[in-house]
Structure 1
Amino acid sequence: MAKVLYSVTMSVDGFITGPDGDMQWMRPYLGPNPEVDDLIRRIGSILAGRRSHDGDDPHKGEAGEGHAFGGGWSGPLFVLTHRPPTSPESGVTYVDEFAKAIAMAKEAAGDKYVNVIGANVAKQCIEAGELDEVLLLFVPVMLGDGTRLFDQPGGRTVALERLSVTDNELATNLWFKVVR
């Protein structure tokens, strides 16, 4: 059975994008990360939000631009959106309902991970009780503004259990299980 994982690179002040969805801040931290390299082989499908899918790419101008993990991963990609494009992208399934999108992504993933991309989709996974794990790659930068990892006006507590902590020269990886 597939597990749903939110894996994301984050500044130490809690932002996953810079202002206006900027992802170029991430470029200095895209180097080797053995834990991410191992994870890529364990991803069976990706569930992304439309803004994340269509947004800025930290691999802009490189061979992997426009592809998950800079071209390091390929497979079934599901984009959750209420505005499917008039000219759909090859290899991408656009889905307008969360429950249907998560079910399709889980089925496609088999016994691997559904990797969630996008703060809003991750929030929907949390609200639906569908998020199983979180992998945070903390990098040594403060952005000051942008999209927060998890933003819940009025507050909401989501308990996490630490599974592992690993360091490399570019990031500190914290892997958590969502406590239900």
Structure 2
Amino acid sequence: MSDVSTGTGKVVVNRAMSLDGFIAGRGHAMGWVAEHLTPDAIPEVMAATGAMLIGRGTYEVAKRMSAEGTAYDGGAQFVLTHRPPDEPDPAVTFLTCELEEAVATARSAAGDKNLEILGADLAAQCLQRGLVDEILVYVLPVLLGDGVRFSPPSLGRIDLEPFGNTQSGAVTTLRFRVRK
């Protein structure tokens, strides 16, 4: 468990990834994910999630996808940002605090459920600071060639312990514990 634990849930980096290691295509395109993976395809993950901590860039992409009819409901939404939007979003709490405080705030909102970390940069920062318990990856059958990588080169080495993998249709799900 991470040091900022306030409930019994875990801090989980949860993402879909192309076979060549991208979590978003060129221009942060995410439509390819919905071709293979929908929230109703992962009901156990949705049921285990109580809150999401999202980076600002990922929030903007998710907002665009929601307007296009692709929505993902993982509980209370918190966006960690240096620049909150001028127009508030009633469905989101914008946080401008330090990372550890943001994780603790979102963990508290998640209660006994998991906190999902969404966004490549935010996830890398959480991993670097030892705040992540697990990584859940949905490997999708597509090669994107370019886009947003699973992690930035600056992340450095993080040791993982595999503890689960499943195949459901075209989606391979991989689960890892972060070694601390």
TM-score range, shorter chain: 0.7 to 0.9
The corresponding residue for 2:80 is 80
- Quick one: structure 1 residues 92 and 12, their matched pair in 2 at CA, closer, same or farther if it must change by over 3 Å? same
Q: CA deviation at 1:85?
A: 0.8
Q: What is the alpha-carbon distance in structure 2 between the residues aligned to residue 58 and residue 178 of structure 1? A: 30
Q: Please list the CA deviations of residues 80-125 of structure 1 after superposition, one character each: whole Å capped at 9, or x if unmatched.
A: 1001011110021101122221110011111210011111110111
The corresponding residue for 2:118 is 117
Give the count of matched residue pairs: 171
Aligned ranges 1:10-159 → 2 under 5 Å: 10-31=17-38, 34=41, 36-55=42-61, 57-58=64-65, 61-62=68-69, 65=70, 67=71, 69=72, 73=73, 75-97=75-97, 98-153=99-154, 156-159=156-159
Q: What is the alpha-carbon distance in structure 1 between the residues aligned to residue 21 and residue 121 of structure 2? A: 15
Q: What is the alpha-carbon distance in structure 1 between the residues aligned to residue 132 and residue 83 of structure 2? A: 24
- Quick one: structure 1 residues 74 and 175, their matched pair in 2 at CA, closer, same or farther if it must change by over 3 Å? closer
Identity of aligned residues (%): 35
SS in 2 for 1:173: strand
Q: Please list the CA deviations of residues 19-75 of structure 1 after superposition, one character each: whole Å capped at 9, or x if unmatched.
A: 1111122231124775x210101111100001101115556532xx4x4x2xxx353
Q: What is the alpha-carbon distance in structure 2 between the residues aligned to residue 117 and residue 128 of structure 1? A: 16
- Quick one: structure 1 residues 77 and 31, their matched pair in 2 at CA, closer, same or farther if it must change by over 3 Å? closer
Unpaired runs of 5+ residues, structure 1, are: none
- What do you get for the CA RMSD once the two structures are aligned? 1.8
Q: What is the alpha-carbon distance in structure 1 between the residues aligned to residue 68 and residue 17 of structure 2? A: 22
